Structure 1
Amino acid sequence: MRLFVFGLGFSAQAFIRQHRAQFSAIAGTVRSAGKATALTPLGVEALSFTGTEAAEPAISAWLAKADGVLVSVPPGADGCPALRAFAPEITTSRTIRWIGYLSTVGVYGDHGGAWVDETSALLTHNTRSLLRIEAERSWATQAATAGHALDILRLPGIYGPGRNALVDVAEGRARRIARPGQVFNRIHVDDIAATLATLTARAAGGPAEPRIGIYNVSDDEPAPQGDVITYAASLLGIAPPPETTLEEAGLSPMGLSFWTENKRIANARLKAELGIQLAYPNYRIGLDALFAAGEGRPTA
Structure 2
Amino acid sequence: MEIYHVPASFPLPVRHFQRNSPSTSLSCSAAVVSSSSQSDKIESECRNRMFILGMGFVGQFFAQSLKKEGWAVTGTCTSIMKKKELEKRGFDVCLFDANEPDRLSILSTLKSYTHLLVSIPSIVGIGDPVLRHGDLLRSTLMDGNLQWLSYLSSTSVYGNCAGAWVDEDYPASPVSEVAKSRLAAEEGWLNLGSSLGLSMQVFRLGGIYGRGRSAVDTIIKQEPLSKFQKMRVSRQYTSRVHVEDICQALKASIYMPSISRIYNIVDDDPAPREEVFAYAEELIEKKWPTWVRRSTSSERAISCDKKGSSTGEKRVCNERMKTELGVTLLHPSYRSGLLSIIDQMENPFQSSPFQS
2:170 aligned partner, one-letter code: S
Once the two structures are superposed, residues 190-227 of structure 1 have per-residue CA deviations (whole angstroms, 9 ceiling, x without a partner) of 11111112222345xxxxx7x11110000000001100
Say whether residues 1:108 and 2:158 are aligned partners. Answer: yes
Q: Report matched runs for 1:42-81 at 5 Å.
A: 43-56=90-103, 59-76=106-123, 77-81=125-129
Contact kept in structure 1, 2:51 and 2:116, CA below 8 Å: yes
What are the equivalent positions in structure 2 for 1:1-300 lying under 5 Å apart?
1-22=48-69, 24-40=71-87, 43-56=90-103, 59-76=106-123, 77-85=125-133, 86-173=136-223, 179=234, 182-203=236-257, 211-237=259-285, 238=292, 241-242=300-301, 244-247=304-307, 256=308, 259-294=310-345, 297-298=348-349
After TM superposition, give the deviation of residue 19 of structure 1 in Å.
Answer: 2.1
Which protein has the bigger strand share? Answer: 1
| 1:117-168 per-position Cα deviation (integer Å, ceiling 9, x unaligned) | 0000112221000001100111111112111111100001100111110111
1:298 Cα deviation after fit: 3.9
Q: Distance in 2 between matches of 1:151 and 1:178?
A: 31
Letter in 2 for 1:50: D
> Secondary structure of the equivalent of 1:28?
strand
SS at match of 1:214: strand
Contact 1:116 1:264 in 2 (8 A): yes
C-alpha distance in structure 1 between counterparts of 2:255 and 2:143, whole Å: 20
Could you tell me the percent identity over the aligned residues? 31
Contact 1:49 1:55 in 2 (8 A): no
Contact 1:151–1:212 (8 Å) recurs in 2: yes
Q: Using the TM superposition, give the Cα deviation of residue 89 of structure 1 relative to its aligned residue in structure 2, in angstroms.
A: 3.5
Q: Structure 2 regions of 5+ residues with no counterpart?
A: 1-47, 286-291, 351-356
Query: Per the alignment, do residues 125 and 90 of structure 1 end up closer, same or farther by CA in structure 2, a change over 3 Å counting?
Result: farther
Code of the aligned partner of 2:249: T
Deviation at 1:13, TM superposition (A): 0.8
- Give 2:336's aligned amino acid: I
Q: Given that residues 221 and 349 in structure 2 are in contact (C-alpha distance below 8 angstroms), is that contact kept between their aligned partners in structure 1?
A: no
Distance apart, 1:40 and its partner CA: 2.5
Does structure 2 retain, via aligned residues, the 8 Å contact 1:67–1:96? yes
Query: CA 1:59–1:283 in structure 2 vs 1: closer, same or farther (change >3 Å)?
Result: same
Structure 1 range deviating more: 142-151 or 106-115: 142-151
Aligned mates of 1:291, 1:21 — CA distance in 2? 23
Residues 117, 267 of structure 1: 8 Å contact kept: yes
Mapped to 2, the partners of 1:234 and 1:144 lie a distance apart of 48
Equivalent position amino acid for 1:189 in 2: V
Q: Distance in 2 between matches of 1:17 and 1:267?
A: 25
1:288 to partner: Cα distance: 0.5
CA distance, structure 1, for counterparts of residue 347 and residue 166 of structure 2: 33
TM-score if structure 1 supplies the norm length? 0.86
- Number of equivalenced pairs: 283
Structure 2 residue identity aligned to 1:173: E
Counterpart-to-counterpart distance in 1, 2:181 and 2:70: 31
Once the two structures are TM-superposed, the CA of residue 174 in structure 1 deviates from its matched residue by: 6.7
Task: Note closer, same or farther for the CA distance 1:36–1:133 as it changes in structure 2 (3 Å cut).
Answer: same
What residue identity is the alignment partner of 2:340? A
The 2-side partners of 1:125 and 1:104 are apart by 13
Tell me, yes or no, if the aligned pair for 1:110 and 1:261 is still in contact at 8 Å. Answer: yes
Unaligned stretches of 5+ residues in structure 1: 204-208, 248-255
Displacement of 1:30 in angstroms is 0.6
Instruction: Determine if contact 1:2/1:23 at 8 Å carries over to the other structure.
Output: no
| Cα RMSD for the two superposed structures | 2.4
Instruction: Indicate if the aligned counterparts of 1:157 and 1:185 stay in contact, CA closer than 8 A.
Output: yes
Measure the CA separation in 2 of the matches of 1:84 and 1:178: 35
Matched residue type, 1:33? I
Shift in CA distance, 161/75, structure 1 to aligned 2, threshold 3 Å: same
Cα 1:54–1:22 change in 2 (3 A) is farther
